[in-house]
């Protein structure tokens, strides 16, 4: 029988696991703290008896990530990591510094099956989903490497979090738990390409996170062309699910909108978008499309971007333009990709 992934366990599950070895329940709180803090060597768990440390070494898998490459931006303080997972697969993750503290953009899958045409993460498709422990490890590895504490998390890296629903929700509950990293759910954003079934399931969890929906187009004609997921759940279905989600959670929804020159940046698109979103408690995050070598998409010029923003604002829609971070290291939105073993780019 294989080793048990105990870093993905809730504290109550650790109690059950430890009791199977005859250990007292209170040890679970101590072990949970070490695991969530990113300690992977049982020898460093100094308040646990030697016999228990040996039990952990023999029976437990404590997932961690290995930094294969670290790229620091010369423009800002953004750092992009290429991490190697325990099975040798590679993912990317980004650490960003803001005035309010440090934010980590984590991946939830190796690759992605969504196939959005403007995004590098889906090139090559989906390899596998990450475990909760592998998501947590991206945060603690960045904290260790920089000697900092992360205060915010965005689930906006490689992968579709709602295509890895159970592990994503477990991660959210673990990362916010007392005794662990204890990052408040209100400081966490989960980004989805528009998996309507997942949005409905997430509403039932009623977690006070920020739901970020990658909309990127005001109608089915444009959205289906650039986002295959729209062929399953159209814009009307997606926005209906968002309204249901908002009714349950009372949380403002963030709509991500990557502005692509000549595709979705017209005045007509802005007018239609504003009409679609009217009545929703929401915010539109305009993202100038970032270059990906496998496509020819370009961002509009600065004046066009600001004009699009002003059209939305005049129609009563709160809209901001996202500041681009880490552009010189391909760390911006849509640029994270699966890496190959030798450190090259597929």
271: annotated active-site residue: no
Mean pLDDT of 293-299: 67
What is the rounded CA–CA span in Å between residue 254 and residue 235? 15
For 172-213, write each residue's pLDDT tens digit: 999 999 999 999 999 999 999 999 999 999 999 999 999 999
Write down the residue that tokens 């998501």 correspond to. 135
250's CB contacts (< 8 A; 6+ apart) are none
What is the rounded CA–CA span in Å between residue 53 and residue 42? 5
pLDDT at position 322? 78
pTM: 0.91
What is the rounded CA–CA span in Å between residue 136 and residue 167? 11
Phi-psi region of 206 (alpha: psi -120 to 50; beta: other; left: phi over 0): left
For 244-274, write each residue's pLDDT tens digit: 999 999 999 999 999 999 999 999 999 999 9
Domain 66-329 falls under CATH 3.20.20.70: yes
For 56-97, write each residue's pLDDT tens digit: 999 999 999 999 999 998 888 899 999 999 999 999 999 999
pLDDT at position 328? 56
Contact 89, 130 (CB under 8 A): no
Q: Which of 92, 134, 160, 256 is catalytic?
A: 92
Write down the residue that tokens 């949380």 correspond to. 251
pLDDT at position 119? 82
Report the relative pairing of strands 90-98 and 319-321 from DSSP bridges: unpaired
For residue 294, the Cα-to-chain-centroid distance in whole angstroms is 23
Q: What are the residue boundaries of the structural domains of the chain, listed by start? A: 4-61, 66-329
What is the arrangement of strands in the sheet containing 210-214, beginning at the earlier edge strand?
66-72, 79-84, 90-98, 101-105, 150-155, 188-192, 210-214, 253-259, 282-288, 319-321
* % of the chain surpassing 90 pLDDT: 83
pLDDT at position 299? 87
pLDDT reading at 106 higher than 60: yes
Domain 4-61 falls under CATH 3.40.50.970: no
Give the three-state DSSP class for 219.
coil
119: annotated active-site residue: no
């Amino acid at each position: 029988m294989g080793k048990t992934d105990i870093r993905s366990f809730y504290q109550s599950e650790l109690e059950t696991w430890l009791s199977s070895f005859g250990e007292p329940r209170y040890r679970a709180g101590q072990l949970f703290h070490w695991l969530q803090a990113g300690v992977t060597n049982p020898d460093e768990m100094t308040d646990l008896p030697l016999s228990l440390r040996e039990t952990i070494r023999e029976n437990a898998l404590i997932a961690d990530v290995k930094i294969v490459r670290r790229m620091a931006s010369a423009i800002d303080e953004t750092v992009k990591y290429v991490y190697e997972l325990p099975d040798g697969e590679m993912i990317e993750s980004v650490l960003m510094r803001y005035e309010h503290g440090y934010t980590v953009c984590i991946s939830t899958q190796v690759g992605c099956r969504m196939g959005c045409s403007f995004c590098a993460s889906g090139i090559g498709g989906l390899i596998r989903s990450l475990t909760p422990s592998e998501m947590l490890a991206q945060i603690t590895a960045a904290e260790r490497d920089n000697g900092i504490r992360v205060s915010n998390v965005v689930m906006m890296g490689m992968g579709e979090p709602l295509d890895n629903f159970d592990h994503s929700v477990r991660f959210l509950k673990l990362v916010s738990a007392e005794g662990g990293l204890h990052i408040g759910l209100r400081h966490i954003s989960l980004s989805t390409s528009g998996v309507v079934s997942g949005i409905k399931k997430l509403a039932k969890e009623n977690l006070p996170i920020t739901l970020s929906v990658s909309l990127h187009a005001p109608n089915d004609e444009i959205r289906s062309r650039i986002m295959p997921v729209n062929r399953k759940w159209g814009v009307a279905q997606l926005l209906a699910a968002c309204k249901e989600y908002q009714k349950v959670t009372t949380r403002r929804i963030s709509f991500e909108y990557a502005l692509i020159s000549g595709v979705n940046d017209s005045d007509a698109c802005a007018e239609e978008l504003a009409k679609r979103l009217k009545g929703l408690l929401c915010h539109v995050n305009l993202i100038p499309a970032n270059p990906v070598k496998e496509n020819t998409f370009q961002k509009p010029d600065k004046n066009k971007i600001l004009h699009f923003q002003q059209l939305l604002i005049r129609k009563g829609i709160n809209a901001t333009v996202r500041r681009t971070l880490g552009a010189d290291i391909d760390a911006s939105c849509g640029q994270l990709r699966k890496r190959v073993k030798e450190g090259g780019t597929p």
